[in-house]
Structure 1
Amino acid sequence: MVTPKLLEAYRLFDEANGEDPNKEEFEGKSYPKELLYALRMTEMLQDFEPNASEVLLLAARCQHIRRWEISRDQYEKNRLGYLRWREELKRFHVEVASKLLVKAGYKEGIIKQVGSLLLKRKLKQNKESQCLEDVVCLVFLKFYFLPFAEKHDERKIIAILKKTWGKMSDGGQETALNLSLPKSATDIINKALQNGKE
């Protein structure tokens, strides 16, 4: 259910993400990159789980809040550096989102629940955490997978696809198979899935 507080939180989140200096073109229009990502998360969540709770709606909209402020370049160029970057990002997103949720009028209980979802706790155990992860994966596959695949070798792409697939619920996987994707994307997804069965 859309509430005035939810709309105010969206406004604050979008205002924050609208300051992203990185731009992305989509359907002939230029967007701040993380604002576009947030809008895509909300749209995908509404399609995937029309009855999503207010907490889940909030978490989807602020999933990458001001992400550009912590650059991957600040960490070692290895697996450990990547993991440290991701963990720091999660904490940062919780901190920024929490302050904006206070401004929007939310109480501590809701803010903590949103933070828990952003930290991706209890995947596969908590229904809302899993739903958010499914939406993250679906947005990646629909909008970001093909540009990513064009920059990396097939072995790496297949490995990432397998990891992505493993994070998703059965419902998420089913939805992913029904996404409208370019043939080049579906071909490599099918190859990764077939490879995983061997």
Structure 2
Amino acid sequence: MNTYQKAIAKIDEINAEDPIKELDQGEEISKELLYSKRMTAKLDAFEPNAPEYLKIATRAQHIERWKIPRSEYPMDRVGYLRWREELKKMHAEITAGILEEVGYDQDFIAKVTHLIRKKQLKTDEETQTLEDVICLVFLENYFEDFAAKHEKKKIIDILQKTWGKMSERGHQAALQLTFSQESLQLIKEAVLE
């Protein structure tokens, strides 16, 4: 195995420890392992020539996410933002440790952690690519379940926030995804009208 393969294997090994399971094509899989594989597949489709550090940042986006539950923070906007910052910091630290262990240099590690921390969103092209991939994975794999559990006003708000984080290229890719009629109607209402 080369350095890249070792890093991906280690990230997958850690994410496979997620106690929360999901069904994927009839098989039970750890939630964050499934998420990381979906992220890689979407990056490969959206940006096939992505550099190695962006590929690793994409795969490690939610590494060990279950260790910091949302319920440990106040259930308001401030609590949500604090939770997200703590997660980004943790994901970046865990990933940096893995990359050091498998032999990457500090410059490479700094690029990966910069991306995971989502530094310079909207001004850094690779951070924006990662954000587009995150939003596309949400829309393609998690939006329908989210919409089924929330009232219309909240769904519209989340769609508008998601759309606002994406680039024009991300928007075009999102419009190519397959949605139910109900979801498509919500998306049109939220962002296209």
Shorter-chain TM-score bucket reads over 0.9
Q: What's the CA shift for 1:26?
A: 1.2
Cα distance between partner residues in 1 of 2:146 and 2:46: 23
Q: What's the CA shift for 1:188?
A: 1.2
Match of 1:10 in 2: 8
3-state SS in 1 of match to 2:149: coil
Match of 1:129 in 2: 127
Residues 98-119 of structure 1, C-alpha deviations (whole Å, 9 max, x = no match): 1111122111111111000011
Match of 1:150 in 2: 148
Cα distance between partner residues in 2 of 1:185 and 1:101: 39
In the TM superposition, 1:104-183 aligns within 5 A as 104-183=102-181
Residues 149-193 of structure 1, C-alpha deviations (whole Å, 9 max, x = no match): 111000000011001001101100000000122222222111211
Match of 1:71 in 2: 69
Match of 1:35 in 2: 33
3-state SS in 2 of match to 1:181: coil
Where do 5+ consecutive residues of structure 1 fail to align? none
Task: Report the TM-score when normalising by structure 2.
Answer: 0.97
Residues 92-145 of structure 1, C-alpha deviations (whole Å, 9 max, x = no match): 001111111112211111111100001111111111000000000000000000
| Structure 1 ranges of 4+ moved more than 2 A | 181-184
Residues 49-80 of structure 1, C-alpha deviations (whole Å, 9 max, x = no match): 00001110000000000000001111111111
- The code of the aligned residue for 1:151 comes to K
Residues 3-40 of structure 1, C-alpha deviations (whole Å, 9 max, x = no match): 82111111000000000000011111111000000000
| Match for residue 93 of structure 2 among 92, 95, 100 | 95
- The code of the aligned residue for 1:31 comes to I
Where do 5+ consecutive residues of structure 2 fail to align? none
Task: Report the TM-score when normalising by structure 1.
Answer: 0.95
Match of 1:23 in 2: 21
Q: What's the CA shift for 1:43?
A: 0.2
Identity level (%): 48
